[in-house]
Structure 1
């Protein structure tokens, strides 16, 4: 999975940008605020979801532009594009080879993983961020997962609206919505279980001491089984109506990560250990994608080199180089990337302009 050309229009601080890229390391260095992460965000939008910043679409468009934006990429003879129009700035449209497709279909063409400084808080904040993180991992391997999540959430919103009605809800419609929740909810929960189990097996196999050994635990209350979800939905209707929302289901699941060597939950580990745990998960997941899909995902690593000592940084670059695939890296100091292969493409980013170093 390699982007050979990336084109931006009216994206963040880029009125226009075209980058010719290649397999291997794509390094973007420059001062804070120059626009390095904006480029990674553009690449991340070539996958389902809201990108690595989870930003509102209206906030992505170039401030001095017409209110729309576009991101396009070439992958061999395949062209991907996504963006908005000035007329509908909150509606994202996606095309593959010129044909309109649902945005979730991007997962059929690209698997993209990322690590950003904001993810350092993943283990300390609420479960929604960890669910989103896990769902991205699943979608990279099972593209239909994003669609199942969307359909489950749509059915749940409609069920919540129906339960919140002042009148007695339409029983037949409620039963129909419950069937949708069971169908898509169990599919979501089962996919999450599959990826969690597969990652745990691979993490145990490939622990090389480079980063903290991670172990994942999914708390989904058994809702991967249809009977369990059916019982919860029926038993809690009165409580759900009083609360105005569906209180139980896969949307309440949580992912817990442990430092397996110390047998300690990630939220109790040091900041450095938490970062190392994230590294180990992302690297193992990239290996899992390569095994199951036959090609490595695109990795977006934002400001990761600055958090590693020189020895571990060199070891990371060596491992990434050995594995292959396209890796996008950002950092403020060009010297941080001296240990990357000589074949890297190293760009200087300054004031919304990108030039080759």
Structure 2
């Protein structure tokens, strides 16, 4: 195999495969950098990658939430004309495919290379608050100092099954969420220092149905009718412990729209003075990768599909995007070595060199 690669460097073995087989081979690549480099090898290879939207398919495998993206645009210049004229000519179709290739290639790369950190921007609302502002949801965004009461508290309920919702805005419209950390509050000033945790927690991510107007902070509403949740997690059990508890998602979730709702399911602790059940949270963290300002999204589109926007002036991290960014000989040989076993499997018992002869 390797001798074949070295002795016949000008022979494009991908041309010897049926079109469907070529796509299957290249679809096996799961590194966005490899796909971009592959697209610079030759016009034929680039055409296969671009026409079949392989970078887009890679992104969809990583984040199924992208299935609702109906169109992509670049930079801040107006692409409304392109949007309306897609499919009006072969040239327009190719321009659209090229644009999708660039945007999704950069998106896939950004998903793996952007730094991870705390992704909460601000608190939006709580479904109830016992004493405002002393027990406001805003207190959940700062670490509590020892022996200092800094927390959010729900109103008391006779029924321990009544849930509570905390809604937050994330740092951008495009955030990859990997885990949420929640610290239940320990009321050290009450007899026995009870911990007001929930029995479980569920997470929802999505976007606003229309622009959110800053409301009266005294309004006790989670605005649930104003959001469309595109992802809802399982219910994670919460321990009645005075610590920052980590709830790691089974797979990273792409939050399109930048809103997160935490549903606190079930109440554990009854307050001695009024015999009602409460839930109190000391601190909330959302860990992940914010992809703004490199990417943003328009959600209020008549078609119901999203418009993905890439800011081309955002240069880091970078990927080669033109044929002038040539792939090295070493990289080409490495790709050849990686893909030849795949070709063998797909071709079953057909000898590779005999196939070319």
TM over 0.5: no
TM-score normalised according to structure 2 size: 0.22
Which of the two has greater helix per residue?
Answer: 1
- TM-score using structure 1 length: 0.22
Larger radius of gyration: 2
